[in-house]
Chains A and B, each alone.
Chain A
Amino acid sequence: MSSTSLTRPAGSAHGTRARTGTPVRVRTVVARLLGWSLLAGFGVAVLYPVLWMVLSGFKDNQEIFNQPWGLPGELRWENWARAWDLGVVRYFTNSVIVTSATIVATTLISAWAAYGMCRLRLPFGNGVALLVLGGLLLSPTVALIPLFRLLTSIGLFDTYWALIVLYTAFRVPFTIFLIRAYMIELPRSVDEAATIDGASSTQIFWRIILPMSRPILVSAALLQALFAWNEFAFALVFVSDDSLKTLPVGLMAMQSRLLTDWPVMLAGLSMAALPTIVLFLIGQRQFLRGLTEGVGK
């Protein structure tokens, strides 16, 4: 920036723009107003359907069909209890089991691999990095049919294991890169000092590197939770027993059972959405770090 621009009288920008007709002040105010209404309008568009879902979960059929825009006359918790009993409890439990298992497996396996790749001497380390990078590019949809054959032949079809193993396998590449980007920044001197003290690489990992990587492990776990809780395609194809279904697929089954009972269904949807929303609200910072690290590298 030049000194002339610093000393330029405030009116000059004003003067050049004023030729177009409207004074800058007015134009700025109008622009700000437009900007704010876009932001607010989008906020309402996002929030309203979610609020409608939760509030409609308290209505009865009469209210929901005749006054869809109105508030519920009373808080009918019985809808929520009914949705819970009609299947949400089962699907919810299944989701919790599958999600927890894959969080542990994905985070651990990825942390091991990231440690091996960036802090130990690994024969053909570049090959491993390429394999992991390639894994990022391959998508689950393309693998549906061969996986169906594979899982059937090894007896994993229609079990929790099918989902746990696949959720882990398909998310390990992303999680490795996420954790590796963090581990690579940890000072080398830490490992060296520990080695001199006679620690093995196993001890260094569990006692030093893993605890130091805690922030990124939290991000990785949260992202895996969001992914596994909401995953649909694998859950649809590889689990057919209703008692093993996770929430996303279970809710579809519930919808075809309930048909016209909208309030109960909406209560069920709200309950299914709650855990990930709460998790996001609590761990927002870790979520965003994981997302932008993962996307940016």
Chain B
Amino acid sequence: MTPLLSVENLKTYFRTYRGLVKAVDGVSFDINEKEIIGLVGESGCGKSVSMLSILQLISNPPGEIVSGRVMFDGQDLLQYKSKSDAMSAIRGAKIAMIFQEPMTSLNPVLTIGRQLTESLEIHLNMTPQTAQERAIELLRMIGIPDAHNRLDAYPHQFSGGMRQRVMIAIAISCNPKILIADEPTTAVDVTTQAQLLELMQDMVNRFDTSLVIVTHNLGVVARYAERIYVMYSGRIVESGLADDIFLNPRHPYTIGLLKCVPQLGETRQERKLVPIKGLPPNLINMPTNCAFLPRCDRARDICRQQLWPPLELVGGQHYVACFREIMEKP
């Protein structure tokens, strides 16, 4: 089965006064149809940039997609010009995106109804009448009571959780093939997080959409994602099915991440939470060997002598970029 969207060797660099920032440095991943994918990594590891690169939403300057291919529907999306009509026809209609901040992602001067109907009118050529009916239907689906009257409300009359639901409704409104949720639950409280994730799962099931959840919260992806990609300083260090990652993590970074998450039913005596020592490397001055090396407690001589370890298959769909694992490959 060919994947719905396939990103190959994507490199997005930012030219800053202090030097070249390799925010995304050779990232490849696939998204299959109707699949929920988790993209995990700490702040500044290039998760958001790689997602924005897919839709060419990186502002240039300072950002530039240096190389790579984004294959979607037999077309390389990076061949389109960022401001071309062809690209605009993909955005929202085929690949939609939700952002982190629900408080600022809706335009404060336009009504909820207008913001919902707008993309319907653009992408699906609906008349204002049918778009309005569709908007009411969408508001009902995301659980906004009194949907008919709420169309005339402005974003400031909605709570953060409600706004993020509206964002989900807008994103899903044109029936996209892929929904990218860029840290959709970071800015809302835990109860709302759960509701939003349930809602997203419900919506993508209903519309046969693939979902990419970008997050630094392993708990979020644990429950929903089928496959997980772990990113570290601009590269993917481990990928595999959710079970592979959670039950059998192979990369020291993934292991470290899981060690610092508390688990239910654990007492303090049983296990202490272990933080990952040190800080992520400065992306301007990247080491040529494994970027995780300075923080790695399992480093070996080969790690210091060789360049970045390549991502290699270690069984099933499980890939790891770590010399230790590659050498001990079963």
Asked if A and B bind, the verdict is no
